[in-house]
Every structure is written in structure tokens, then in C-alpha cells.
Amino acid sequence: MELKEAYETICTYLNESEKRKLLESNLTGAFKGGVVKPIYKDLVKQHLPYIDYPFKDEMDNVFCYRQNDEKPGLNVLHFGGVYYLLDPSSAFVPNQFSKNDKTNLVLDMCAAPGGKTITYAIKHPNDLIIANEISLSRANELAKNIERMGLANVIVTCMDPQEINDSFNSIFDRILLDAPCSGSGMFCKEPKMLEDWTYDKVIKCSLIQKQLLKKAIKLCALNGEILYSTCSYSNEEDDEVIEATLDESIEIVNINSSFDTYKTKYGNILFPYIFNGEGQYVSKLRKIKGDKIDINLLKSNNVDKIEKQYVIHPLLKKLPAGLKIIKPGIKIYDNREHSKIIYDNDYKFLCPIKKVEITYEQACSFIKGSEVFLNTNYSKKEEVVVTYKDIPLGYGRIVSNKIKNLLPKGLYAPNIRL
């Protein structure tokens, strides 16, 4: 199916002018982007001069660039967890929760590879995010991304969302549901999505989406919010899913964004011709009827063992048992024989020992797995955190005038660019 034919089939709600704009926006190439830890915005711009920060307000730490030969993933800052690469439209979604002053318990039901979780976690460091993924391989990849970013307020779990037991009902203040979909919003970025698209796929995804949203409503706390999103333009996966799951316990909340979007009956669509990103649908729901649960009165799980080995968020101690956790926090201790836990990738962010600052060129060598030679001789052999611009890159051991590389070999980045 050609792109024009696909849009004619899928986007029946658009007029001819809008369809033409959508097609033209796809022909100009996809936008790419990333979310930056706010204190590093200027530093990232210095290293990546081709990026822009075109957004404002809640998305002021999201950058954007046209799809080209640039490789921001091969930069020392990316390795050091300063930014995470993602489509700007994906970054839009987790920024649409209503503002509040509480410490929120958040569930990302289908979190891999982690863009929405990371975007949210950076902006809300005091909240606890349960980032769940049904696939073990994808959950492990999600955990690696959280580890690289050094986010202590994210727990990674691996389970079918439908298996989250009833003791978790009505306790999540905020839920992200980026549901599996047919992917028509990604035709420009991923042409294979167009090759694989069928209407049968839309219908199958729609059934799964309705089940997931019903589960999300059960898990959502009274007065809590759900952001339901897809990267599909099909109404069957967007507004029709919302309509099929609406009941007296749920109300639709308008998304009052400073950005232009295409308004639908129950949500908003980000089209590339009105927003610098790929196609994305999002609807915001609030739970207005249901049981009011005090999380402080729940029978909590036993986290004593976890607490001895990890830096964990205080809210984790209050959660019921039943989550299949693969990453509960930042690991700080391992009692296994011959353990080298001090070298775990995210432990470096705690910087419990001496730091040694190196140049960008030296950082590139270090990340590739090489030793780093210093201008100073050190009389004492000791383990250190190696940093660039005070960004922790990993562990090394000072011996005389060089730093022996203690990065795990699996983290070496041989293609890092000067």
C-alpha cells in the first residue's frame, strides 16, 4: 500500500487539505529528538549544535532535529545519562498530567523502551514510577536505559498488566498507558510499519487496548488521572477505545496544552504538519467515582532484603506484594561471592568516592575501554569515579599517572565520536 492510499484509508476524518499536509510533512523527513536533564540544556547544545529547543513550558527540556546523518547517541553526554533520545511527540504525552503538589505513585503499564517513563521521571524526581513491561527482553532493555540515566525514582517490573493483583486497585495517582498499536503514526520514521499495516491488525490491537484501559481504570486512584496514548491514526484504536470503556466512574479531561493539536471527540492527535514529531494520539481521563484507598493502611510487602542492597524510594515500602520487580532502585551492595557491585552502572551517580575529571577526548578513550593517562602522578592507588564536566561516566583505578578502566566490557562504546 502506498502512503497516500494508506492515509486515505485510515484518516477518513481529515479533509483533503489536511490529508495533503500530512502527506507532504511525511515527505520532508521525520523529526527526531531527546529529553535532557534540565541543568545540562546549554551543555548539550554546545555538543550538539544541530539541535534546537523549539518547545516551551512543560517541554522546555526537549530538543528536536531533522532526521539526518547526525548521531547524538554516539556522544559522551548520551553515555553519561545526560539525555535520552526519543520522538518529541512521545515526550509530549507524560507532560499532560494536571499539576499537583503531592508525591505521586505512577504506573507506566507498557513502558519499554522507556521514553515516557524517563521524560516523566526527570521532571518529577520525588514521584515513584513503576515502569512495567510484559516482555522480559524488553524489560531488561528498559532497565538498562533507566540505569544509564541514573534514575533512582523508577522501579522496573516485568509482568502482564492484567496480572497486577487486586490489592493494587485504586492506588495509582497517575497512569501512563501507551498501548500496543498498529503504528500508522510512525509511517515516516519506520517505513516497515507501512508494509506491515493491515486493518486486521487495527482490530486486534483495539481489543487489547480496551482490555488494558479497563485494567488501568481499576488501578487508578480516586481523582487520579490516566493518559491513554497510541502512535496510531486509526479511530478504532483511539476515540473508539475511549468510548467503549467510558463509564460513570470516568470523565474526560481537556488537555490544555500550549501546543497546537488536532482535537477529536475524546482526545488530541499530534500530526507532523502541526507538531515537530511523529503521529501520536492522547486522551486524558480522570477517575471521579470509586473506593478511596489510603496507601499508608495497606499491608506492605517485605522490602528489608531489597533495602539492604538498593537505594529505594520511600513509597516502595508501602506497596502491596505481588510485583515482579527486576530493578527496584540503584544497587549499592551485593553479598554474592566475588561480587563487584561497586562497578554497577548507576551506582556511579551516587559518587561515594573520589572523582577525577578528564577531557572529552580522554572520555572518548575511556568509554571505548582504554586506559586514560593523566598529567599528574598519584602516589596512592585508589578507585575513583571518572567524570567529564562533572558527569559520572564510570569507575576506574588510579595507578601512578593513569586510570585503569573498570567499565564492564558490555558497556564499552567503540563507536563513540570525538
CB–CB of 173/287 below 8 Å? no
| Positive/negative CA dihedral, 216, 55, 154, 327 | positive
Could you give the C-alpha distances from 230 to 88, 96, 122, in angstroms and in order?
Answer: 14, 15, 22
What CA–CA distance (Å, rounded) separates 43 from 416?
A: 18
The catalytically annotated residue of 11, 188, 220, 231 is: 231
CB–CB of 143/325 below 8 Å? no
Concerning whether 11 is annotated as a catalytic residue, the answer is no
CB–CB of 371/414 below 8 Å? no
**Phi (first) and psi of residue 303, to 5 degrees:** -110, 15
Give, rounded to a whole angstrom, the gap between the first and last alpha carbons of the chain. 42
Query: Which residues, including other chains, have CB under 8 Å from residue 108's CB and lie 6 or more apart?
Result: 116, 117, 120, 129, 130, 131, 132, 175, 176, 178
Query: Which residues, including other chains, have CB under 8 Å from residue 113's CB and lie 6 or more apart?
Result: 138, 141, 142, 145
Instruction: Of 278, 279, 276, 258, give the one whose Cα is nearest residue 53.
Output: 276
CB–CB of 84/118 below 8 Å? yes
CB–CB of 184/23 below 8 Å? no
Could you give the C-alpha distances from 258 to 56, 59, 102, 197, in angstroms and in order?
Answer: 8, 10, 24, 32
CB–CB of 232/9 below 8 Å? no
What CA–CA distance (Å, rounded) separates 13 from 287?
A: 29
Catalytic residues: 231
